[in-house]
Amino acid sequence: MNYTEDPVAAAANLSRSFGVKIDPPVDGLADGSSPIVYPTGKTIKILTGGDAKVTVTTALDNVVRLFRDFTEFAQQVRELADKKLRVALELYAAHFSEVSMNSRFLTLVMCLEALATGTKRPKPVLDLLKKWEDDAEEMKTALAGDDEARSSLESVLRELVFRRENSIRGQIRSVVQKTLADAGDQDAEKAARTALLVYDQRSTLVHEGSLDKQALSEAFANASNIVQRVLRARFKAAVLLNVAAQPPR
């Protein structure tokens, strides 16, 4: 029960609010869903209401615009000649539906891994790797008949071939730095260093099985920011390239 200070003014306010004439005085307002006790001679108005329903609508023009933008975006993705970018976009879309923060974070890092491109190491390093490969090939002959040792050596040989290119860690740094620099971002180098930190945290999570909650939260935020910026820049460049390649109409 709520008693009014001015019963005449309360009646006038209720009349304006509900659009009906309510004669004064109104000494108090009560909730119709609860029992009430009030003095005889007081004029009490009982407020009641049914279940409320709220409907939120979107203007038709906005729906049409969003649908058009989505259709154009989907068409542009299908026409992408950059297959690595297409895979990265698919991974980015998939990270939203992952159920845990760990899997969402790892999927974001996979976006960068999908974009990474191998680059050859400097010539002195390649020359050293070639020497090791030649030595390993000679050793294979000496190990004839020792299947276990020969198999192990062949595994090392495959690893040497793989090492001709920069590590995936270095490739991720390169793709972030170059993509953002080409897009005109002034902090491309800083973002590339952050990407290395993100990849190191990814390695910790994969190899040790966990990151503490704060570290994971920060890693996810950094990964999300970098991936969004890189994908946006790469997609914009790819679309512009695709448009430029179209024959004039």
Mean pLDDT, residues 139-153: 79
Cα separation, 216 vs 101, in Å, equals 8
Closest CA to 222 of 179, 174, 166, 176: 176
Q: What is the pLDDT of residue 67?
A: 62
- pLDDT tens digits along 30-77: 877 777 787 888 888 887 766 666 666 667 676 667 666 655 655 555
Q: What is the pLDDT of residue 55?
A: 67
As beta bridge partners, residue 45 has 29
Assigned token pair, 179: 């993509």
pLDDT over threshold 90, residue 176: yes
Q: Which residues contact 195 (CB under 8 A, 6 or more apart)?
A: 112, 172, 173, 176, 226
pLDDT category, 164, cuts 50, 70, 90? low
The answer to whether 126 touches 96, Cβ cutoff 8 Å, is no
User: Mean pLDDT in the chain?
Assistant: 81
Q: What is the pLDDT of residue 140?
A: 77
Provide the residue ranges of all domains of the chain, joining segments of one domain with +: 2-47, 60-118+166-231, 123-162
Q: What is the pLDDT of residue 125?
A: 75
Cα separation, 25 vs 17, in Å, equals 16
| Neighbour tally for 85: CB within 10 Å | 20
Q: Has this prediction a pTM greater than 0.75?
A: no
Alpha-carbon distance values, 10 to 21, 25, 34 (Å): 12, 8, 21
- Residue predicted with more confidence, 227 or 245: 227
Mean pLDDT, residues 179-195: 94
- pLDDT tens digits along 96-145: 999 899 999 999 999 999 998 766 667 787 777 778 778 877 887 777 77
Written in H, E and C, the secondary structure of the chain is CEECCCHHHHHHHHHHHHCCCCCCCCCEEEECCCCCCCCCCCCEEEECCCCCCCCCCCCHHHHHHHHHHHHHHHHHHHCCCCHHHHHHHHHHHHHCCCCCHHHHHHHHHHHHHHHCCCCECCHHHHHHHHHHHHHHHHHHHHCCCCHHHHHHHHHHHHHHHHCCECCHHHHHHHHHHHHHHHCCCCCHHHHHHHHHHHHHHHHHHHHHCCCCHHHHHHHHHHHHHHHHHHHHHHHHHHHHHHHHHCCCC
| Neighbour tally for 25: CB within 10 Å | 15
